[in-house]
Structure 1
Amino acid sequence: MGELKVDYTGGIGFKASAREHSITIDLPKDKGGDDAGMTPPEAFMASLGSCIGVYVARYCNTAKLDPKGMQITLNWHLSDDKTRISTIDVTLKLPNAEPGKRERAILDAAHRCLLHNTILVQPQISVKLI
């Protein structure tokens, strides 16, 4: 079981903390924030992209492919009613690896990412006020 705490820092800002690490979440100035950190959707995409990266890097290391210089770019679009993200496109660059016949295995590793699977099989989310 994992735990992460999100603390209000003022304005529209928050600090998310897990273990000994934290990130700042905020909105751009034109949305009422101070632009002190990523927006919640950006942090969500950062989590998804880095999760994919971890799984691909592990595979590359096992398969003796060089993951150095790996870059994962995520582009997303909102639904028409702007209440959710409707599409996510992920582009994976491995400039120092020559995947050849391992391309399918690399993509399979990306699809095994914990967060990717969580999105595909929607978790139950409960919110309670205490």
Structure 2
Amino acid sequence: MTENKFKLSTEEIASLRIEHRQAKKKRDADRIKAIVLLATGWTAMQVAEVLFMDDDTVRHYRARYETGGLKNLLKNNYKPKKSKLVKHEQETLLKHIDTEIYMTVRSIINYVRKKYHVIYSLSG
């Protein structure tokens, strides 16, 4: 499957490069980089590989840029979920994690399930 060509003018690319240099957050710089690379002929798969992200994420960035420009691309829509643990349980868990070595997130999830009878998934 070939990807649709994504084209930007030389001026748009130059403007994005300036925005990239001025970006204060790595997240914003990576999003801008993804758009510039796509506009210069890279595939989403290639961009994803060099930026260490999923190719669907790169395609999502492209769609956001196409629908709302730079402002939409850089908008942070993240909304944290409410914790399933109460405050003192969170504090106790943080102290425990500081003293124990866990090699995977899954092992922490299992600890929380056994200790607090609360189920988390890898994605939260």
The TM tier, using the shorter chain, reads under 0.3
Name the structure where strand makes up a greater proportion of residues: 1
Under a length normalisation based on structure 2, what TM-score does the superposition of the two structures give? Answer: 0.26
Under a length normalisation based on structure 1, what TM-score does the superposition of the two structures give? Answer: 0.25
Name the structure where helix makes up a greater proportion of residues: 2
